Amino acid sequence: MKEYYLKKAEENLPKINITKICPDLDPVILNSGDTFVIDLGTHYVGYFSFKMWYAERYIDAPGRMVVRFCEVKEEIDDDYSDYKGFLSPSWLQEEIINIDFPGEYKMPRRYAARYIKISVINATKALSLSNFAFEAVSSADMNTLKPAEIIDPEFAKIDKVAVNTLKNCMQRVFEDGPKRDRRLWIGDLRLEALANYYTFNNSDIVKRCLYLFAASDRNEKGMIVSHLYEKPIFVSGDWYLSDYSLLYACSLCDYYNHTGDEETFRDLYSVAKSAIDSAENNKDKNGLVDGDAFIDWCPDLRKRTAYEGVYLYTLDLWCETLEKLGYEEVSAYRNILSNDRKNAVNLLFDKEKNAFINDIDDRQYSVHSAVWMVLGGVVTDEKAKEILLSALNSEDSVKPKTPYMHHYTVDALIKLGLIDEAEQYIRNIWGGMVDIGADTFFEIYVPGVPDFSPYGDRKINSMCHAWSCTPAYFIRKYGLGK
Amino acid sequence: MKEYYLKKAEENLPKINITKICPDLDPVILNSGDTFVIDLGTHYVGYFSFKMWYAERYIDAPGRMVVRFCEVKEEIDDDYSDYKGFLSPSWLQEEIINIDFPGEYKMPRRYAARYIKISVINATKALSLSNFAFEAVSSADMNTLKPAEIIDPEFAKIDKVAVNTLKNCMQRVFEDGPKRDRRLWIGDLRLEALANYYTFNNSDIVKRCLYLFAASDRNEKGMIVSHLYEKPIFVSGDWYLSDYSLLYACSLCDYYNHTGDEETFRDLYSVAKSAIDSAENNKDKNGLVDGDAFIDWCPDLRKRTAYEGVYLYTLDLWCETLEKLGYEEVSAYRNILSNDRKNAVNLLFDKEKNAFINDIDDRQYSVHSAVWMVLGGVVTDEKAKEILLSALNSEDSVKPKTPYMHHYTVDALIKLGLIDEAEQYIRNIWGGMVDIGADTFFEIYVPGVPDFSPYGDRKINSMCHAWSCTPAYFIRKYGLGK
């Protein structure tokens, strides 16, 4: 089957569109020690080239320069030598290049950048740099972008930045971040696919990603691997996250619900079923699903309640889709869903606090638990509103850190009809990024804590990150900002 | 005329031969901090490629490594961060590379190396490196190398290293050094051409170089520029050395004497004549030629006497060649030569010291002056032998520093029939380099002073240098070591 799945994935490899960005600049004359910054106008992903020539006298030694690609302005003056993060510094987008002869120079690697900083380290004679060009690449075609009527100017801006984020992450697959971590992750795939249906609506790339995960290795429990690599060869990842495994099933349901492509759903049904059944088969003694879930970059957060919510949310979407397609298995899943919702409220709702706690023996309290209990249908209506708003407004509750978790928070607000609150939440998070000049939405954004990083150093953060692109989905699907 | 000369130069662009060197090595597994050295077996010039793969788990971040190309063993452990020389450190053959995906990686620049040191700086997982290959390039074709009967094993070794030196400097032109300073210089051109006639005998490349200098800019005195660039476009140099200007005429005479190509000689006659006449027209009040000569890397050396010798030597070769070809101008040049030799001995020979002094008012005394007065025919026979040997053996005399000047010293010894002394000199200088493991002959070699550098740091010295290749000429032309 693996070969069949990979063949289907290859058949759906999207076309890469190339747009050449040529900043309108006169040639710059640089000597040793001089620095020059090119501003592409917004964030792009692609390949940089320029011409190095001699200014007056022919250069009699190679020109050595440092070329740094910056997603945001702050990176221009960062000192990379004091990098303290625990991810590999090889993700920092900087090269030392030596050019032997005057001429056109095309840098071979792909970068994610708005700003390009060139620092001449060694030049025996003045260099003349010109013909700066950036070949931006994306499988998103701006000509196919669906028009959207967004009256509120802030939301129009947010939508634009969200679309740019999605575009720059759409390459051969839905990348996680085009600067760092170019893997395909299920959690990001799902959010990008949702935004994609309402913007570029390129269903090939979604199909390709679904088939790639079908080709990946299930673990001994039947879980779907949380990430994979597809270049230069297909390699299954080696990390299993229990919520991501389930979100594969959600992604497949979303795909069918948006495309009506029944053939693909039936083709991949057994893969999604494996994810759901593996959660079902790995419950603890209390009947709650048990596994290592991602949920959010929130090191102190206990995640049992949130994961239970992901499971119930998935089961709900799964049943709805199976029903549409007439699968007999639906009634068995419906029973489980109904029982498990009751079990969850019994075990995880703390009446005294009037809140969902993070685990059965935990006093911790978080937006995450509230959001996922709402999305999982464990609470509904006024009760749900009260719980969710109280978690959001409480000073004691653990709050979402990543735009990934912010997405599901907005989703829960909208599900409950709290449109004003959802809009305000989007303004606060994504509008906050726009206010500080974002051309694309960041991997991490904690209002008021600009240097927050889950990796020990802001410099390694990805400033164009797939999971942050969903305001375009909310704004366009629900007509926000109208 | 410039366009015509350039056209002729292009017509004689030599073919570049490619030889793929594949060291017989198993894949090496490297983690961050690990270093690996590849030994190509001898010195080559060319392009390096290898395969980077993952050892067990797929790499989830770019592999960052430092790749250093070393001409000699000492460079492997050199610390480039403390480089103190005054030439551009961009000549130091080291790159920091980032490889995004497993696969074949071909480094785009050309290097001169026997040893290749790979140091992994950042790798999140173990890397497997394999398929190391070096595409050696040269316009010298080893299949056309003339066989030579050299019985003395030391001379056989010296010849082999000299041939390798020449081969690695023979590219699109006779390069000065394939590591550093890839310009075409007249002084090096002449010596490489001489060695080439007795080894690969590729006359195209000599012709090309002669035409390139013909296309270059003469200064207001009519001198020929001492160096030029030919890639990516032809650019005349901007440094005029009076001895190099004259050696263009010598190179043209050599070319005719070895090839019998009268057409080319006549085509370039006016260029060579311009060099000779410009020396003739720029004499000082004493009738000695006046100009900035190179002679040797010898900062304290006064060079008037040596330069006068270069002039008389050139005039001698010029007259001999014009005579063969029936040029009428020869008698006028003969007169000048005869008068100037007498003038030189009167002004520059110190009877008390029984030596040529370095300038008319100088007490300094050097091998350089003696060598060039001998080569210029100012002294002959027993008198010449006595003067030359005494300069060589004296503790007070300034001694040659570069193999370039060593060449002319051997030439003078051979001219005087001092074959044993010439052989001993070759054993001492070039044999000395062979003894310390040279695969190619160095730019600079001062016996007992391995760190000597004219540039403030040994690390920038070129260890395969055109002007050091002439033992092959002497050994083969004069049957040394038989």
Domain count within chain B:
2
Which two structure tokens, joined as six digits, stand for A322? 């199976």
| Closest residue, chain A, to B106 (C-alpha) | A108
Chain A closest-CA separation from residue B183 CA (Å)? 8
B117 pLDDT higher than 90: yes
Inter-chain residue contact A88 with B235, CB threshold 8 Å: no
Paired residues of A66 in beta bridges:
A96, A119
Inter-chain residue contact A88 with B123, CB threshold 8 Å: yes
Cis amide prior to B178 (ω within 30 degrees): no
Give the tens place of pLDDT for each residue, B194-223: 999 999 999 999 999 999 999 999 999 999
Residue A285 forms part of a structural domain: yes
**pLDDT interval class at B482 (50, 70, 90):** confident
Asked if B124 is an interface residue toward chain A (Cβ–Cβ < 8 A), one would say yes
Asked if B239 is an interface residue toward chain A (Cβ–Cβ < 8 A), one would say no
> Is residue A242 within 8 Å of residue A291, measured between CB atoms?
yes
Inter-chain residue contact A181 with B110, CB threshold 8 Å: no
Q: What is the pLDDT of residue A361?
A: 87
Helix (H, G, I), strand (E, B) or coil at A341: helix
Q: Furthest-apart CA pair in chain B: how many Å?
A: 82
- Among A51, A56, A60, pick the best mutation site for testing chain B contact (most B Cβ within 10 A): A60
Inter-chain residue contact B90 with A235, CB threshold 8 Å: no
| Closest residue, chain A, to B184 (C-alpha) | A60
Query: What CATH number does residue B317 fall under?
Result: 1.50.10.10
Contacts of A181 in chain B (CB under 8 A): 60
Inter-chain residue contact A100 with B109, CB threshold 8 Å: yes
Angle at CA of residue B139, ends B137 and B144, nearest 5° = 115
> Is residue B41 within 8 Å of residue B269, measured between CB atoms?
no
Final residue in a domain of this structure, among B138, B164, B180: B138
Residue A9 forms part of a structural domain: no
Final residue in a domain of this structure, among A111, A138, A165: A138
Inter-chain residue contact B63 with A90, CB threshold 8 Å: yes
> Is residue B212 within 8 Å of residue B235, measured between CB atoms?
no
The CA distance from B406 to B367, in Å, is 10
Cis amide prior to B447 (ω within 30 degrees): no
Asked if B87 is an interface residue toward chain A (Cβ–Cβ < 8 A), one would say yes
Chain A closest-CA separation from residue B203 CA (Å)? 27
Inter-chain residue contact A90 with B62, CB threshold 8 Å: yes
For residues A220 and A132, membership in a common domain is answered with: no
Contacts of A109 in chain B (CB under 8 A): 98, 100
Contacts of B101 in chain A (CB under 8 A): 231-232
**pLDDT interval class at B299 (50, 70, 90):** confident
Residues 6 or more apart whose CB falls under 8 angstroms from that of B82 comprise none
Helices B330-348 and B304-325: angle between axes, nearest 10 degrees? 160
Q: What is the pLDDT of residue A482?
A: 79
Cis amide prior to B23 (ω within 30 degrees): no
Helix (H, G, I), strand (E, B) or coil at A468: helix
> Is residue B196 within 8 Å of residue B206, measured between CB atoms?
yes
Contacts of A110 in chain B (CB under 8 A): 100
Inter-chain residue contact B57 with A123, CB threshold 8 Å: no
Contacts of B180 in chain A (CB under 8 A): 61
Give the tens place of pLDDT for each residue, A63-104: 999 999 999 999 999 999 999 999 999 999 999 999 999 999
> Is residue A132 within 8 Å of residue A38, measured between CB atoms?
yes
> Is residue A344 within 8 Å of residue A308, measured between CB atoms?
yes
The alpha carbon of residue A268 and the mean position of all alpha carbons in its chain are separated, in whole angstroms, by 23
Q: What is the pLDDT of residue B44?
A: 98
Residue B9 forms part of a structural domain: no
For residues B271 and B124, membership in a common domain is answered with: no
> Is residue A205 within 8 Å of residue A187, measured between CB atoms?
no
For residues A340 and A201, membership in a common domain is answered with: yes
Range of the domain at A78: 17-138
> Is residue A138 within 8 Å of residue A16, measured between CB atoms?
yes
Q: What is the pLDDT of residue B312?
A: 98
Residue A1 forms part of a structural domain: no
Inter-chain residue contact B95 with A90, CB threshold 8 Å: no
For residues B159 and B85, membership in a common domain is answered with: no
For residues B96 and B208, membership in a common domain is answered with: no
Region B81-97: mean pLDDT is 97
For residues A92 and A180, membership in a common domain is answered with: no
| Closest residue, chain A, to B105 (C-alpha) | A108
Contacts of B63 in chain A (CB under 8 A): 90
| Closest residue, chain B, to A94 (C-alpha) | B98
For residues A158 and A84, membership in a common domain is answered with: no
Asked if A104 is an interface residue toward chain B (Cβ–Cβ < 8 A), one would say no
Range list of β-strands (E), B302-459: 349-350, 355-356
Q: What is the pLDDT of residue B364?
A: 87
Residue B221 forms part of a structural domain: yes
Residue B338 forms part of a structural domain: yes
ipTM: 0.95
For residues B72 and B203, membership in a common domain is answered with: no
Give the tens place of pLDDT for each residue, B262-294: 999 999 999 999 999 999 999 999 999 999 999
Final residue in a domain of this structure, among A138, A165, A197: A138
Q: What is the pLDDT of residue A364?
A: 87
For residues B174 and B76, membership in a common domain is answered with: no
The CA distance from B76 to A30, in Å, is 32
Q: What is the pLDDT of residue B101?
A: 95
Query: What CATH number does residue B59 fall under?
Result: 2.60.120.260
Residue A104 forms part of a structural domain: yes
The CA distance from B152 to B480, in Å, is 8
Inter-chain residue contact A64 with B90, CB threshold 8 Å: yes
For residues B157 and B105, membership in a common domain is answered with: no
Inter-chain residue contact A63 with B124, CB threshold 8 Å: no
Residue B187 forms part of a structural domain: yes
Chain A closest-CA separation from residue B104 CA (Å)? 10
Asked if A106 is an interface residue toward chain B (Cβ–Cβ < 8 A), one would say no
CB pairs under 8 A between A and B: 80
Give the tens place of pLDDT for each residue, B28-47: 999 999 999 999 999 999 99
For residues B71 and B185, membership in a common domain is answered with: no
- Which mean pLDDT values do the consecutive 10-residue runs of chain A (482 residues) have? 97 98 97 98 98 94 97 97 96 98 97 98 96 98 96 98 98 96 95 98 97 97 97 94 98 98 98 98 96 93 97 98 98 98 97 94 92 98 97 95 96 98 98 97 92 94 97 97 82
Q: What is the pLDDT of residue A153?
A: 97
- Which of B297, B268, B283, B207 has the alpha carbon at shortest distance from B14? B207
- Among A51, A90, A93, A128, pick the best mutation site for testing chain B contact (most B Cβ within 10 A): A90
Select from B60, B87, B181 the Cβ nearest to the Cβ of A183: B60
B300: how many CB neighbours lie within 10 A of its CB?
Answer: 8
For residues B200 and B330, membership in a common domain is answered with: yes
